[in-house]
Structure 1
Amino acid sequence: MRRSAALAAVMITGALTLAACGTSGGSPGDCDTDRGTLTVGLVAPLSGELANIGAGMRDSADLAVTQANRRCAIPGYRIALDARDDEADPATAAAQARALAGNPDLIGVVGTYNSSTAQAVQPVLGAAGIVQISPGNTNVSLTRGANPVIAPLRQYQTYFRVVATDAAQGPAAANALAATGRTRVAVVSDGRTYGEGIANEFAKQLATRGGQVVLRTTLPAGTPPAATAAAVRAARPQAVFYGGEYPDGGPLSRALAGAGGPVMGGDGMVNPAYAALGGREGDLGVSVGAPPETLPSARPFVDAYAKAGYRDPYGSYGAFSFDATNVLLESVSGVVTGPGGGEWSTAQRSVVDAAVQAYDGEGVTGAISFDRFGDVSSDAVTMYRLVGGRWTPDRTQP
């Protein structure tokens, strides 16, 4: 059932109450918590170059948990957040997932951010029957397998995501460039799961618009971009599409020094730090969803986050993390309080998986429901341009 107006009002009230009371911690009010504590896990990059992304994810999930405790979201239980640092490394992510899975009171995991870490975490949580809801993964294969067009295959019934995939981002970027007459494009990617996936989706769509990939090359993450920039200049493209993330995209743009037209990338590039790392005026980006600041539905979240006093901004994935956490909490609440519910046990994890699959509600980012592959129903993306050192939204589609 779609979330009722009454519940939505309760969530807004909870947001305003939280704003007055501070961040996490403290008493959950008058809630009965005699049954103990249930844990929401989170796996994200909390250190290293992507730490600003992970911090926004963690704090947004914390906000959702704090609000849930204040409104007694799961009767009889206190909810705790256990945030784990995956260092943007697949092996570390898998180890953190195994550690979380060892907790019998774990009700689910929010994360990961990187698609490569998701590939490592999926089998760990899948084997344990633990639901995973990602606020950041965009690689198509995570839900539809290695051959998503001809033979889509969902490997993990426990895996869901609340963001659009690269099948939406890549084509949107190609369409935007083609609409400006830039049809000769160099495509550079970082060799990682996300970067290769979005670059391939871009290249496929560019071909349908009569475009030409004049150079397709890999610049491994962390590699100095001078040689790649020289190859791009030699190919004389009208634009460069970069499949990767901002720590390497910014230096690549700087190394091009105006050659090859603007650099364009996906959500991994649309980060406030991109310009400081070398991103040039007029560079282009596409990212998942709409900026929360533009959505009336996200205003209670934006206000509560600001008033709660978190050190880091919620960033591009905070609102999605808030929604992913609430999808999990509402699903678990329905299981515990529904027919055959009662006290939490690991035997209920499979019922939670089914409850998330059936979820149909309104989040701060918009309507949320999942198709048979675990992908969210919305495929909204926003186009951005770097203006004055800041990513400025242009338009959201569809």
Structure 2
Amino acid sequence: MRRSAALATAVVAAALTLTACGASGSSPGDCDTGRGTLTVGLIAPLSGELANVGAGMRNAADLAVRQANDRCAVPGYRLALDARDDRADPATGAEAARQLVTNPDLVGVVGTYNSSTAQAVQPVLGEAGVVQVSPGNTNVSLTRGANPVTAPLRQYQTYFRVVATDAVQGPLAANYLAATGRTRVAVVSDGNTYGEGIAGEFVKQFQTRGGQVVLRQTLPASAPASARDATVAAVRAARPQAVFYGGEYPAGGPLSEALGGAGGPVMGGDGMVNPGYAAAGGQDGDLGTSVGAPPETLPAAQPFIAAYRAAGYAESYGEYGAFSYDAANVVIGAVAGVVNGRGGGEWSSDQRPAVDQAVASTDQDGVTGPISFDRFGDVSSDAVAVYRLVGGRWIPERTQP
């Protein structure tokens, strides 16, 4: 049974509590927490160029944890968030995961944001049996392996995500450009897991629509300016009607600026739809897709937004805050059901497989939409929005479906 009404009521109540308590923390009220503390982990980029994304993820997960304490979600226990910085680096993320799993009271992990980091974190959490719910990973192979169409294979039963994959984003971008009459597109990607994945999905669908990829080039985000200049020259020579970029906004913005509109607008995925894109050089008229509908347009997300603002966090919840809030609540709901379902109500790390199973059985309404998972761990909802950069701001044009 879906619990949207209960969730909304809890969020509204928590918003009022947080207004009084402020962002420094809230007490669990009259809850009995004598049995100790259970930890919800988070792995996200909390420093570096993507820190604005990670901050929103951390704050939203923190809000979910504090609200859970306010309503005594796990009787006898206090919940605490242990947020670790992965710096958008796979090796750093894997080390963060190794540190987290040494805690026997770790009940689950929210994260990661980057798909390449997820590839390093998945095996660590999987071996420990710790459930992982990602609010940002979109690469298809994370749930369906290297051959998602011909031989899909789920490697980690502990891994789930609450966002649509690049198998939805890439084709939607291709269909959008094709519908505008563009038949010639240049494709540039950064060589990373996310960038290559979404670019590949875009290419397949664009060619299916009869379009021509006139240039396919890899430009690492760390490449020197001379390499970017060479790519710009190649794009200009290919004379496309649009450029699709597979990568993140810190490198996508400078590429767009260097192109200066040559070859038409630059279009990318959710890694581009960030407030920092324009500051990095993104040009008005550029396009992007992002997972889910904008939270501001969703009635179910309004209590979350109100509670987040009342909490007084210094940073915006950003593009992935609402998803992180949902991911944290999925973990919390699962562990609450497992602990509350035991006769003695005691947590032990041998209950982690039961938490995995409880997450797999999730069927509820989150603030971003319905949440349930297929046999691969992918969320049932596949909403994706198309944005246009106008006056330096990403403005949503439409959401599909």
Shift of 1:26: 3.8
Q: Which sits farther off after the overlay, 331-340 or 131-140?
A: 331-340
Corresponding position of 2:389:
386
Shift of 1:226: 1.1
- Aligned equivalents of 2:4 and 2:257: distance in 1? 50
Paired residues for 1:147-186 under 5 Å = 147-186=147-186
Corresponding residue SS for 2:364:
strand
Q: Which runs of 4+ in 1 moved over 4 A?
A: none
Corresponding position of 2:292:
289
Corresponding position of 1:132:
132
Shift of 1:4: 6.2
Q: With structure 2 as the length reference, what TM-score do the two structures score?
A: 0.98
Paired residues for 1:219-238 under 5 Å = 219-223=219-223, 224=225, 225-238=228-241
Say yes or no: does 1:145 pair with 2:145: yes
Could you list the runs of 5+ residues in structure 2 that have no partner in the other structure? none
Corresponding position of 1:75:
75
2:201 counterpart letter in structure 1: E
Aligned residue among 323, 334, 337 for 1:334: 337
Deviation readout 1:177-223 (Å, 9 max, x if unpaired): 00001120000000000000000000000011110100000000122
**Does the CA-based 8 Å contact 1:40-1:110 persist in structure 2?**
yes
- Aligned equivalents of 1:178 and 1:363: distance in 2? 33
Corresponding position of 2:282:
279
Corresponding residue SS for 1:118:
helix
- Aligned equivalents of 1:375 and 1:130: distance in 2? 17
Q: Which sits farther off after the overlay, 11-20 or 218-227?
A: 11-20
Shift of 1:14: 2.1
Corresponding position of 1:363:
366
1:65 counterpart letter in structure 2: V
Shift of 1:5: 3.1
- Aligned equivalents of 1:124 and 1:214: distance in 2? 41
Q: With structure 1 as the length reference, what TM-score do the two structures score?
A: 0.98
1:98 counterpart letter in structure 2: R
Deviation readout 1:337-362 (Å, 9 max, x if unpaired): 11456210000000000000000001
Corresponding residue SS for 2:47:
coil
Shift of 1:20: 3.3
Aligned pairs, number = 398
- Aligned equivalents of 1:367 and 1:7: distance in 2? 12
Corresponding position of 1:61:
61
Corresponding position of 1:96:
96
- Aligned equivalents of 2:33 and 2:189: distance in 1? 50
Paired residues for 1:12-31 under 5 Å = 12-31=12-31
Corresponding residue SS for 1:316:
coil
Corresponding residue SS for 2:276:
coil
**Does the CA-based 8 Å contact 1:383-1:394 persist in structure 2?**
yes
Paired residues for 1:206-355 under 5 Å = 206-223=206-223, 224=225, 225-339=228-342, 342-355=345-358
**Does the CA-based 8 Å contact 1:16-1:300 persist in structure 2?**
no
2:335 counterpart letter in structure 1: V
Corresponding residue SS for 2:138:
coil
**Does the CA-based 8 Å contact 1:19-1:305 persist in structure 2?**
no
**Does the CA-based 8 Å contact 1:112-1:118 persist in structure 2?**
yes
Corresponding residue SS for 2:81:
strand
- Aligned equivalents of 2:210 and 2:344: distance in 1? 57
Cα distance change of structure 1 residues 253 and 4 upon mapping to structure 2, 3 Å threshold: closer
Aligned-pair identity (%): 78
2:136 counterpart letter in structure 1: G
Q: Which sits farther off after the overlay, 242-251 or 23-32?
A: 23-32
**Does the CA-based 8 Å contact 1:24-1:63 persist in structure 2?**
no
Shift of 1:55: 0.4
Could you list the runs of 5+ residues in structure 1 that have no partner in the other structure? none
Shift of 1:18: 2.0
- Aligned equivalents of 1:261 and 1:295: distance in 2? 32
**Does the CA-based 8 Å contact 1:94-1:121 persist in structure 2?**
yes
Corresponding position of 2:2:
2
Say yes or no: does 1:395 pair with 2:391: no
**Does the CA-based 8 Å contact 2:292-2:384 persist in structure 1?**
yes
Deviation readout 1:124-177 (Å, 9 max, x if unpaired): 000000000000000000000000001100000000000000000000000000
Deviation readout 1:23-75 (Å, 9 max, x if unpaired): 25242111110110000000000000000000000000001111111111111
**Does the CA-based 8 Å contact 2:18-2:26 persist in structure 1?**
no
1:2 counterpart letter in structure 2: R
- Aligned equivalents of 2:313 and 2:322: distance in 1? 14
Cα distance change of structure 1 residues 94 and 237 upon mapping to structure 2, 3 Å threshold: same
- Aligned equivalents of 2:76 and 2:153: distance in 1? 39
Cα distance change of structure 1 residues 245 and 139 upon mapping to structure 2, 3 Å threshold: same
- Aligned equivalents of 1:12 and 1:160: distance in 2? 27
1:233 counterpart letter in structure 2: R
Corresponding residue SS for 1:48:
coil
